[in-house]
Amino acid sequence: MSGGGFRGHVHVAGVAGVGMSALAQALSWSCGRVTGSDRYLDGGRRVPVLDALERSGIGLTPQDGSAVETGTEAVVYSTAIEADNPDLAAARRLGVPCRHRAEVLAGLAEGHRLLAVAGTAGKTTTTGMLGWILECAGKEPTVVNGGALVDWAGPDRVGNARRGAEGAPWVVEVDESDRSLLDFRPEWSVLTNISQDHFSLEEVQALFRTYAGQVREGLVVGPGVAEVLGEEGAWVVEPPCGGMAPVAGGGWEMPWRGTRLRVRLPGRHNLVNALLAAETAVLAAGTEPEAVAEAMRRFRGIQRRMERTDRGGAVRVFDDYAHNPAKIAAAFAAAREGVEGRILAVWRPHGFAPLRNMMAPLAEAFAGALREGDRCWILPVYYAGGTTVKDVSSGDLVRRIAALGAPAEEAGGYEELDAVVRSAVREGDTVLVMGARDPGLPEFAKRVGEELGF
């Protein structure tokens, strides 16, 4: 592996982030030494990802600039890192280059056959599916993902990165939220869907059209995407989604290339994700359809993507990363499959700017998903520090949802929410915990799942 030109010490600021932790692992495969800092570590919050990174050989340091030395080759940052971050300040003082995460990842992948996965929703699951298929088929891919595969995670493995063989394909999730997907020029790409999230719909559409023009060989796209892209240089494949049906006992299946493609995960959208990954495995990597179908039957999912945290009793608890309108709607639909009970939903906005930009469509998504008898609690906006305009609140969203005739309430925090959910839940209910960035969300979902043992 080329290592993107790095051989010595590279420091990663914000290493606990879903994308940064995967990149840190990828850097460790070729660099002499990789260190990482994070606010959670400085605040005494030892989230599980930090333990796994340390056990995998990545050194953890305070985020005070002390890890950056004269001989450090680069400090890697993401868009979430503020310009006055102490690690970046130390790098500038010592003349150490500061490199954006996407630039570094694109450098690591350079010289390899790159299969990228993009889209407003579903890209993490689809990346995991594609990497899993190629692994099961003996293709030995390198995978860098924004979420951990259940089957790859362990005490010393985060589960969102896999080191492959020399000459094997690279499977990489690329991000539109900061436009950094434009750093990549893959041979093939999946483009799952195009909807409003971090920008206006028109801006998102234009961004993905530009990205599609950089793909060298082919694009496998979700329903309706080809029409949005228009004429592109690459071959655009939009596989038909006919014949999709739920499976008794959970999951979905459909006829596909002379076999049946089946997923055990809830949600029709996950079968669409599987279809896109499957087609890419066949067209871009020459995988046999039967091998693809067998791998997908064994796929156990991605952490925080409709992940069950309960003990299999009379109350189901799901933990999901849903943070935009399309993902919220999909999570509700998946949670309702095969059951008649109420949904008790918990959601936390992952930032002030996303809440401000998506306020109206978020309210419409919740109002369209909630039914009579359901409950919905909105936690305060997640704030990780730094400079931002705090001109919107969760209360604004609650009032908009209520104005559309749907039940929604503000929640002051997790301690209050614990008591409220325990008192409200009854047999047959589903607790659906949703949101991005805040590590407190999966902790809450796990705790509720363990506590509700009836």
Q: Given this model, what pLDDT does residue 196 score?
A: 74
Mean pLDDT estimate for the chain? 93
Q: What is the mean pLDDT of residues 264-281?
A: 95
Q: Is the pLDDT assigned to residue 107 strictly greater than 90?
A: yes
Host H or E run for residue 435:
strand 430-435
Which tens digits make up the pLDDT trace of 131-171? 999 999 999 999 999 999 999 998 888 999 999 999 999 99
Q: Which pLDDT value is given to residue 248?
A: 87
pLDDT, one tens digit per residue, over 193-216 is 998 766 788 899 999 999 999 999
pLDDT band per the 50, 70, 90 thresholds, residue 2: very low
CB under 8 Å, gap of 24 or more: what pairs does 87-95 form?
87/11, 87/13, 87/37, 87/63, 88/13, 89/65, 90/65, 90/66, 91/11, 94/68, 94/69, 94/70
pLDDT at position 3 over 60: no
Contact 214, 185 (CB under 8 A): yes
Quick check: 336 pLDDT over 80? yes
Report the Cα 217 to chain-centroid distance in Å.
Answer: 25
Tens of pLDDT, residue by residue over 283-331, are 999 999 999 999 999 999 999 999 999 988 899 999 999 999 989 999 9
Q: What is the average per-residue pLDDT within 68-90?
A: 93
What does the buried/exposed string (b/e) look like for 229-259 if buried means 16 or more CB atoms within 10 Å of the residue's CB?
A: beebebebbbbeeeeeeeeeeebbbbebeee
Q: What angle do CA 178, 180, 182 make, to 5 degrees?
A: 130
The predicted structure's pLDDT at residue 302: 95
pLDDT computed for residue 200 by the predictor:
83
Domains of the chain (ranges, CATH numbers): 3-104 (3.40.50.720), 112-298 (3.40.1190.10), 307-451 (3.90.190.20)
For residues 92-98, average pLDDT? 97
Residue 308 phi, psi dihedral angles, 5° rounding: -75, 130
What pLDDT was estimated at residue 1?
Answer: 37
Mean pLDDT of 171-182: 93
Cα separation of 366 and 359, whole Å? 11
| pLDDT at residue 387 in the model | 63
pLDDT category of residue 454 using cuts at 50, 70 and 90: low
Coil vs helix vs strand at 205: helix
pLDDT at 322: 94
Structure tokens given for 352:
């002030």
pTM greater than the 0.75 cutoff: yes
| Amino acid identity for residue 15 in this structure | V
